[in-house]
Structure 1
Amino acid sequence: MMKLLLTFCLLIGVLLNTSAQVSENIKITNDNYLRTNSIVYFRLKPKGGTGNIYLLDKNKQKYPVQFLKDGFACTIMSLRPGEVKNFKVIKLREAGAKAEISLTAAEAKFTLNGKQVIGLQTGKKDLPAGVDSVFRRGGYIFPILSPSGLSVADDYPLNHKHHHGIWAAWTKTEFEGRHPDFWNMGNKTGTVLFEGIKNTAAGAVFASSESKNAYYDKSITPNKKVLDEDWQIKVYNLKGTNKPYYLFDLELRQRLSTSSPLRLPEYIYGGIGFRGNGEWNGKDNAYFLTSEGKDRTNGHATTSNWVHISGKVTGKLTGITILSHPDNFRSPQPMRIHPTEPFFCYAPPQAGGFEITPGKEYVARYRFIVYDGEPDRKFIKSMWDDYAHPLISK
Structure 2
Amino acid sequence: MRSTLFFCLIVGVFLDASAQVSKTIRIANDNIVRKNSIVRFKLKSAGAKENIYLIDKDKKKYPVQFLTDGYACAIMSLNPGEVKSFKTIRERKSASKADVLLTEAEAKFTVNGKQVIGLQTGKKELPAEIEPVFRRGGYIFPVLSPSGLSVADDYPLNHKHHHGIWAAWTKTEFEGRKPDFWNMADKTGTVLFDGIKNTESGSVFASSESVNAYYDLSVSPNKKVLDENWMIKVYNTEGDEKPYYIIDLELRQQNSTSSVLKLPEYLYGGIGFRGNGEWNGKDNANFLTSEGKDRSNGHASTSKWVHISGNIGGKLSGISILSHPDNFRSPQPMRIHPTEPFFCYAPSQAGDFEIRPGKEYIARYRFIVYDGAAEAAFISRMWDDYAHPLVIK
The answer to whether the Cα contact below 8 Å between 1:213 and 1:228 also exists between their aligned partners in 2 is yes
Aligned residues: 376
* Structure 1 residue 95 displacement after superposition: 2.4
The aligned counterpart of 1:372 is 371
Q: Which amino acid aligns with 1:91?
A: R
SS where residue 350 of structure 1 aligns?
helix
TM-score, L = length of structure 1: 0.94
The aligned counterpart of 1:160 is 159
What is the alpha-carbon distance in structure 2 between the residues aligned to residue 347 and residue 313 of structure 1? 27
SS where residue 179 of structure 2 aligns?
coil
Q: Which amino acid aligns with 1:221?
A: S
What is the alpha-carbon distance in structure 2 between the residues aligned to residue 115 and residue 382 of structure 1? 26
Gaps of 5+ in 2: 1-17
The aligned counterpart of 1:337 is 336
What is the alpha-carbon distance in structure 2 between the residues aligned to residue 227 and residue 45 of structure 1? 37
Per-residue CA deviation, residues 297-346 of structure 1 (Å, 9 max, x unaligned), is 00000000000000000000000000000000000000000000000000
What is the alpha-carbon distance in structure 2 between the residues aligned to residue 147 and residue 265 of structure 1? 39
Q: Which amino acid aligns with 1:376?
A: E
Which runs of structure 2 are paired with 1:301-340 in the superposition (5 Å)?
301-340=300-339
The answer to whether the Cα contact below 8 Å between 2:166 and 2:272 also exists between their aligned partners in 1 is yes
The answer to whether the Cα contact below 8 Å between 1:119 and 1:144 also exists between their aligned partners in 2 is yes
Per-residue CA deviation, residues 247-277 of structure 1 (Å, 9 max, x unaligned), is 1100000011101010000000000000000
TM-score, L = length of structure 2: 0.94
The aligned counterpart of 2:278 is 279
The answer to whether the Cα contact below 8 Å between 2:256 and 2:358 also exists between their aligned partners in 1 is no
* Structure 1 residue 96 displacement after superposition: 5.9
Summarize the Cα distance change of 1:47–1:307 in structure 2 as closer, same or farther, 3 Å threshold.
closer
What is the alpha-carbon distance in structure 2 between the residues aligned to residue 127 and residue 69 of structure 1? 36
Q: Which amino acid aligns with 2:125?
A: D
* Structure 1 residue 94 displacement after superposition: 5.8
* Structure 1 residue 81 displacement after superposition: 1.2
* Structure 1 residue 129 displacement after superposition: 1.5
What is the alpha-carbon distance in structure 2 between the residues aligned to residue 275 and residue 361 of structure 1? 26
The aligned counterpart of 2:109 is 110
The aligned counterpart of 2:33 is 34
The aligned counterpart of 1:54 is 53
The answer to whether the Cα contact below 8 Å between 1:21 and 1:88 also exists between their aligned partners in 2 is no
Bigger Rg, structure 1 or 2: 1
The answer to whether the Cα contact below 8 Å between 1:50 and 1:67 also exists between their aligned partners in 2 is no
Gaps of 5+ in 1: 1-18
What is the alpha-carbon distance in structure 2 between the residues aligned to residue 68 and residue 178 of structure 1? 41
Per-residue CA deviation, residues 62-89 of structure 1 (Å, 9 max, x unaligned), is 0000011333100000011121111111
* Structure 1 residue 97 displacement after superposition: 4.6
Matching of residue 172 in structure 1 with residue 171 in structure 2? yes
Which runs of structure 2 are paired with 1:166-315 in the superposition (5 Å)?
166-315=165-314
The answer to whether the Cα contact below 8 Å between 1:108 and 1:119 also exists between their aligned partners in 2 is yes
SS where residue 196 of structure 1 aligns?
strand
Q: Which amino acid aligns with 1:270?
A: G
The aligned counterpart of 2:89 is 90
Q: Which amino acid aligns with 2:361?
A: Y
Percent of aligned positions that are identical: 77
The answer to whether the Cα contact below 8 Å between 1:66 and 1:74 also exists between their aligned partners in 2 is yes
SS where residue 365 of structure 1 aligns?
strand
Q: Which amino acid aligns with 1:340?
A: T
Structure 1 residue runs of 4 or more that deviate by more than 6 Å after TM superposition: none
What is the alpha-carbon distance in structure 2 between the residues aligned to residue 228 and residue 271 of structure 1? 15
The answer to whether the Cα contact below 8 Å between 1:261 and 1:355 also exists between their aligned partners in 2 is yes
Q: Which amino acid aligns with 2:147?
A: S
CA RMSD of aligned residues (A): 1.2
What is the alpha-carbon distance in structure 1 between the residues aligned to residue 173 and residue 188 of structure 2? 12
* Structure 1 residue 20 displacement after superposition: 5.8
> Which stretch shifts more, 161-170 or 46-55?
46-55
Per-residue CA deviation, residues 152-186 of structure 1 (Å, 9 max, x unaligned), is 00000000000000000000000000000000000
Summarize the Cα distance change of 1:343–1:260 in structure 2 as closer, same or farther, 3 Å threshold.
same
